[in-house]
């Protein structure tokens, strides 16, 4: 019986294990460096804040929970040799395989300067794994409540919002002038920020860097920022972006820093090796390549990879990239490509919408407002609605804003 090695037990690895299990005919060996069964990573902020317990996060049986016979937690692949189809494991074992799926996701990227400042401090935590969320929770449960979050991207903002609800005192620091710098244009993010700062004890310290840390032994007691601000803290969370986990493939002579390139069958250029999820870069609906970071994409890519490993001919369509953060009743969202110059602003119901219209079609949008006003806009990007039609529909007279349900019904594709 052929052996499939699945490296990683996140959404992608777990989904692939389930699909291969259902198809049958393979010995599946699934390795995860984490000590837990597959879980919902996006719920980590709620776990850190005490709103959830670990059991709430575990994927239910039959939903890609990855509890296949050959699943092993707490064992990493330390080195993978694609040519000889062998892998070295962290426990010293060596395993061979016929096919492999790399589903190792991403880890928090820590800039060199912060690595230098924090060294091996005991109260500096990343926010990517369950053990990290639990360690922040323990600090908060010990009666300490001052948390400095470095990085006001999606994860930093989601964590800040969850900790604020739990009564923590949050300082959210970012080098960029506004929150969510890789997601929204600064003036759009500015519309969302008051919702984040409303109620609770939360300060956004944007446009500043961490200059140094005040230490007590191995514990950070305060951050000194580039503008002279001093931020006392009981814990520091690094939410400074992510980088794909590909180091165990290093030495293969490829540049994998932005993710492993795959074709539409999720096959890498290494024979017999597929990859899926946050560890890859893939083709988007607007024709660019982008890194992962969406659960739905990870699951779909993993299913395609598993089917191809099993000998089927499955292909993955170009996928959608987008992001959403919910702050109280309001959401900030981005979809598609928003870097183009052809942007136009509209009001949709009670919400703000900036559409990007490039090459005669709708290539992306940014949104701040109520979830019901967002409905229907995603198909505009997915189907690349005709720019003239979108413009006319959004500017239609007869009342404030425009019903996105009408936009969803647009028949004019570019
Ligand atoms: C706080 C937070 C909030 C998020 N919110 C959302 C959201 O609202 N919506 C959304 O769509 N996405 C969200 N995401 C992103 C989403 O979680 C990822 O897109 C998804 O987890 C990707 O799945 P994956 O299986 O590719 O990788 P992961 O879930 O990262 O799983 C990879 C696994 O492989 C393990 N691994 C790494 N290297 C090795 C190795 N060498 N050997 C063995 N195991 C290894 C890792 O430890 C990890 O367990 C969020 C992420 C975070 C952290």
- From residue 27, alpha-carbon distances to 63, 69, 99, 276 in Å are 20, 9, 10, 19
* 8 ligand 1 Cβ < 6 A: yes
Domain boundary among 259, 276, 309: 309
Task: Indicate if 201 and 129 belong to the same structural domain.
Answer: yes
Query: 66 in the Ramachandran plot: left (φ > 0), alpha (ψ -120 to 50) or beta?
Result: left
Structural domain contains residue 322? no
* 30 ligand 1 Cβ < 6 A: no
Structural domain contains residue 266? yes
Q: What is the pLDDT of residue 410?
A: 46
- Is 25:1 a contact under the CB 8 Å cutoff? yes
* 233 ligand 1 Cβ < 6 A: no
Using the mean position of ligand 1's atoms as its centre, give its distance from the Cα of residue 14 in Å.
11
Enter the tokens of residue 375. Answer: 């409905």
Task: Indicate if 206 and 291 belong to the same structural domain.
Answer: no
Domain boundary among 233, 265, 286: 233
Structural domain contains residue 318? no
* 293 ligand 1 Cβ < 6 A: yes
Instruction: Quote the domain boundaries for residue 354.
Output: 329-408
Using the mean position of ligand 1's atoms as its centre, give its distance from the Cα of residue 318 in Å.
20
Cα separation of the two ends of the chain: 48
* 305 ligand 1 Cβ < 6 A: no
* 34 ligand 1 Cβ < 6 A: yes
Alpha helices in 310-386 (DSSP H): 371-374, 377-382
By alpha-carbon position, which residue is closest to atom 27 of ligand 1?
105
Task: Indicate if 121 and 94 belong to the same structural domain.
Answer: no
Structural domain contains residue 319? no
0.95 surpassed by pTM: no
By alpha-carbon position, which residue is closest to atom 30 of ligand 1?
105
Beta bridge partners of 345: 354
Task: Indicate if 101 and 246 belong to the same structural domain.
Answer: yes
Question: For 127-183, what is the HEC assignment?
Answer: CCCHHHHHHHHHHHHCCCCEEEEECCCHHHHHHHHHHHHCCCEEEEEECCCCCCCCC
Structural domain contains residue 413? no
Domain boundary among 309, 340, 365: 309
Structural domain contains residue 74? yes
Q: What is the pLDDT of residue 68?
A: 63
Closest CA to 29 of 51, 1, 57: 1
Closest CA to 118 of 296, 248, 238: 238
Query: 146 in the Ramachandran plot: left (φ > 0), alpha (ψ -120 to 50) or beta?
Result: beta
Using the mean position of ligand 1's atoms as its centre, give its distance from the Cα of residue 162 in Å.
19
Write phi, then psi, for 349 (nearest 5 degrees): 60, -125
DSSP category for residue 366: E
Using the mean position of ligand 1's atoms as its centre, give its distance from the Cα of residue 35 in Å.
14
Q: What is the pLDDT of residue 62?
A: 64
Using the mean position of ligand 1's atoms as its centre, give its distance from the Cα of residue 154 in Å.
14
Using the mean position of ligand 1's atoms as its centre, give its distance from the Cα of residue 64 in Å.
14
Task: Indicate if 375 and 282 belong to the same structural domain.
Answer: no
Q: What is the pLDDT of residue 255?
A: 76
Task: Indicate if 203 and 160 belong to the same structural domain.
Answer: yes
- From residue 182, alpha-carbon distances to 175, 241, 333 in Å are 12, 10, 12
| Rounded CA separation 40/210 (Å) | 31
Here the CATH number for the domain that contains residue 151 is 3.50.50.60
* 28 ligand 1 Cβ < 6 A: no
Structural domain contains residue 389? yes
26-32/71-73 β-pairing: parallel
Q: What is the pLDDT of residue 412?
A: 38
* Domains in the chain, number: 3
- Inter-axis angle of helices 154-165 and 186-197, nearest 10: 20
Here the CATH number for the domain that contains residue 347 is 3.30.390.30
Q: What is the pLDDT of residue 72?
A: 85
Using the mean position of ligand 1's atoms as its centre, give its distance from the Cα of residue 106 in Å.
6
Task: Indicate if 199 and 158 belong to the same structural domain.
Answer: yes
| Rounded CA separation 187/262 (Å) | 35
- From residue 63, alpha-carbon distances to 13, 38, 55, 125 in Å are 12, 10, 15, 30
| Rounded CA separation 54/407 (Å) | 40
Atom in ligand 1 nearest the alpha carbon of residue 31: 43
- Is 323:374 a contact under the CB 8 Å cutoff? no
Using the mean position of ligand 1's atoms as its centre, give its distance from the Cα of residue 296 in Å.
12
Task: Indicate if 247 and 354 belong to the same structural domain.
Answer: no
Does residue 26 sit in helix, strand or coil?
Answer: strand
Q: Report the chain (414 residues): mean pLDDT per 10 consecutive residues.
A: 95 94 93 94 96 93 60 92 94 97 96 92 95 97 96 97 96 97 95 94 97 96 98 98 90 77 93 94 80 87 97 90 92 89 88 92 93 84 88 66 51 38
Task: Indicate if 336 and 382 belong to the same structural domain.
Answer: yes
Enter the tokens of residue 369. Answer: 């407002």
Residue 182 CB partners (closer than 8 Å, separation 6+) = 153, 241
- DSSP for 5-22, written as a single string: EEE--SHHHHHHHHHHHH
Q: What is the pLDDT of residue 63?
A: 56
Task: Indicate if 128 and 50 belong to the same structural domain.
Answer: no
Q: What is the pLDDT of residue 398?
A: 47
Q: What is the pLDDT of residue 109?
A: 94
Q: What is the pLDDT of residue 303?
A: 97
Enter the tokens of residue 321. Answer: 């990239």
Structural domain contains residue 323? no
Task: Indicate if 224 and 251 belong to the same structural domain.
Answer: no
Closest CA to 168 of 139, 152, 147, 194: 147
Closest CA to 12 of 59, 81, 80: 59
Task: Indicate if 203 and 126 belong to the same structural domain.
Answer: yes
């Amino acid at each position: 019986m052929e052996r499939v090695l699945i490296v990683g037990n996140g959404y992608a690895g777990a989904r692939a294990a389930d699909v291969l299990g259902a198809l049958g005919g393979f010995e599946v060996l699934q390795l995860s460096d984490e000590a837990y069964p597959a879980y919902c990573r996006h719920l980590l902020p709620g776990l850190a804040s005490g709103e959830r317990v670990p059991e709430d996060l575990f994927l239910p049986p039959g939903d890609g929970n990855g509890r296949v016979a050959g699943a092993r937690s707490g064992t990493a692949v330390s080195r993978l040799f694609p040519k000889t189809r062998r892998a070295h494991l962290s426990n010293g074992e060596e395993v061979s395989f016929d096919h492999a799926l790399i589903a190792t996701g991403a880890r928090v990227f820590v800039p060199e300067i912060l690595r230098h400042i924090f060294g091996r401090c005991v109260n500096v935590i990343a926010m990517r794994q369950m053990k990290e969320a639990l360690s922040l929770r323990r600090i908060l449960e010990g009666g300490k409540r001052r948390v400095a979050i470095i990085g006001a991207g999606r994860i930093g903002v989601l964590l800040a919002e969850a900790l604020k609800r739990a009564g923590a005192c949050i300082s959210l620091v970012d080098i960029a002038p506004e929150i969510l710098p890789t997601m929204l244009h600064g003036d759009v993010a500015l519309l969302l920020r008051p919702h984040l700062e409303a109620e609770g004890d939360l300060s956004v310290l944007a446009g500043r860097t961490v200059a140094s840390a005040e230490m007590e032994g191995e514990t950070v007691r305060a951050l000194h920022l580039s503008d002279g601000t001093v931020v006392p803290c009981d814990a520091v969370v690094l939410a400074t972006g992510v980088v794909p986990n590909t180091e165990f493939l290093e030495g293969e002579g490829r540049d994998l820093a932005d993710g492993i390139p795959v074709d539409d069958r999720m096959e890498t250029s290494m024979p017999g090796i597929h990859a899926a999820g946050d560890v890859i870069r893939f083709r988007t609906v607007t024709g660019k390549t982008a890194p992962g970071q969406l659960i739905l994409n990870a699951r779909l890519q993993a299913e395609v990879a598993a089917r191809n490993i099993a000998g089927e001919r499955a292909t993955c369509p170009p996928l959608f990239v987008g992001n959403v953060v919910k702050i109280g009743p309001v959401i900030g969202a981005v979809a598609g490509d928003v870097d183009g110059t052809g942007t136009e602003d509209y009001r949709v119901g009670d919400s703000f919408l900036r559409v990007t219209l490039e090459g005669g079609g709708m290539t992306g949008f940014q949104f701040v407002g109520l979830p019901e006003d967002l409905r229907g806009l995603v198909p505009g990007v997915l189907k690349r609605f005709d720019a003239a039609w979108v413009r006319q529909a959004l500017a239609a007279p007869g009342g404030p804003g425009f019903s996105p349900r009408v936009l969803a019904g647009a028949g004019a594709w570019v």
